Amino acid sequence: MTRPTLSAAALGSALAAALSAAALPALADTSDKRIALSNNYAGNSWRQAMLTSWETVTKPAVEAGIVAAADAFTTGENSATEQAAQIQNLILEGYDAIVLNAASPTAINGAVKEACDAGIIVVSFDGIVTEPCAWRIAVDFREMGRVQVEYLAGRLPEGGNLLEIRGLAGVFVDDEISAGIHAGVEQFPQFKIVGSVHGDWAQDVAQRAVAGILPSLPEIAGVVTQGGDGYGAAQAFAAAGRPMPIIVMGNRQDELQWWKEQKDANGYETMSVSIAPGVSTLAFWVAQQILDGREVPKDLVVPFLTITQDTLEANLETTPVGGVANVEYTLEDAVAVIEGAN
């Protein structure tokens, strides 16, 4: 659930309290430091929520004088070449840290290395990079895929046919979640993936893709997904007059609303799982702490956000229309994640 936004004054007090509680010395002054967000894609509700969370948390931090700037930049499409050029521009503009959601784990490593060589801190999250000089914040995306099949095994012990809806082709997150789903099918061989489409983490794209493949598929027992695709899949099945399978959702408000309506009407039951868009705010605080001189491990892992049949209503109530169930991180949260990794 999203935390309430603090005023600049309240945030300043909260920061001081968090630093005191965590026994963190103020190793350096970051009030003159400038942090940039480099984002490779904004074409779905998760990315929009991620950008909103960034603004919600960083604007008060700038107003409170914690950092001098926290500007967000998004490329026009999921292009590693374009994002590499964007990073090079941020180097020229003299940012002290770049928080990065990457188009590719490897294709922009050259630009990331250039930033590091220029003395710039690079913190990648969600779409992480493999360049050793950068920091990485991610969930275990493979496990996020595997647990979907494990859940279906509990619901459908006899197994059945699965439709896989993948994300944005060529992106690290898509590959990892898909690998986890396939590992789940190996673990629970009563299931068989009989079709796979790319939904680009967007409901409209997923709906068209599922509608296009459904006529060629046998009866589907379950749909394994990546987020931003569950509602579109449900619409496609309904339009085709096909029996509604168990569709794993991805924490989007329209998915949760549809699930609630079906639950009330006929007891429909599923689960929902995704990385919280607010992970961008954790990356911001991690970058701020590194700029402040704190030793931070290069790899940080955060849990994914799971919604169950019992927690559906509570999460739907706090998820804005068109948005995504979310957690926004505080400095204290970042300190806890850092300490947990040491």
3-state secondary structure the chain: CCCCCCCHHHHHHHHHHHHHHCCCCCCCCCCCCEEEEEECCCCCHHHHHHHHHHHHHHHHHHHCCCCCEEEEEECCCCCHHHHHHHHHHHHHCCCCEEEEECCCCCCCHHHHHHHHHCCCEEEEECCCCCCCCCEEEECCHHHHHHHHHHHHHHHCCCCEEEEEEECCCCCHHHHHHHHHHHHHHHHCCCEEEEEEEECCCCHHHHHHHHHHHHHHCCCCCEEECCCCCHHHHHHHHHHHCCCCCEECECCEHHHHHHHHHHHHHHCCCCCEEECCCCHHHHHHHHHHHHHCCCCCCCEEECCCEEECCCCHHHHHHHCCCCCECCCCCCHHHHHHHHHHHC
277: pLDDT strictly greater than 50: yes
Enter the tokens of residue 173: 């997150």
What pLDDT sits at residue 341? Answer: 85
Q: What is the rounded CA–CA span in Å between residue 228 and residue 204?
A: 9
Question: In the β-sheet with 135-138, what is the strand arrangement from edge to edge?
Answer: 69-74, 34-39, 97-101, 121-125, 135-138, 299-301
Between strands 299-301 and 222-224, the pairing is: unpaired
Residue 27: how many other CB atoms lie within 10 Å: 12
- pLDDT surpassing 90 at residue 11: no
- Alpha-carbon separation of residue 155 from 79, 160, 232, 270 (angstroms): 39, 11, 22, 9
pLDDT (mean) for 293-310: 94
Asked whether residue 20 carries a pLDDT value surpassing 60, the answer given is: no
Domains of the chain: 8-139+276-303+326-341 (3.40.50.2300), 141-274 (3.40.50.2300)
Residue with tokens 């290395």: 113
Distance from C-alpha of 324 to C-alpha of 221, rounded to nearest angstrom: 26
Model pLDDT for residues 115-166, shown as the tens digit of each residue: 999 999 999 999 999 999 999 998 899 999 999 999 999 999 999 999 999 9
C-alpha torsion sign, points 128, 134, 136, 141: positive
Residue 312, C-beta contacts closer than 8 angstroms, at least 6 positions apart: 256, 259, 260, 263, 272
Report pLDDT for 185.
Answer: 98
CB 116 within 8 A of CB 122: yes
pTM: 0.81
Q: What is the pLDDT of residue 45?
A: 87
Confidence of residue 9 (pLDDT cuts 50, 70, 90): very low
How many whole angstroms separate alpha carbon 251 and alpha carbon 324?
6
pLDDT score, position 76: 79
pLDDT in tens, 175-229: 999 999 999 999 999 999 999 999 999 999 999 999 999 999 999 999 999 998 9
Residue 43: per-residue pLDDT: 83
Asked if 123 contacts 137 with a C-beta cutoff of 8 angstroms, the reply is yes
Q: What is the mean pLDDT of residues 78-101?
A: 96
pLDDT value at residue 2: 35
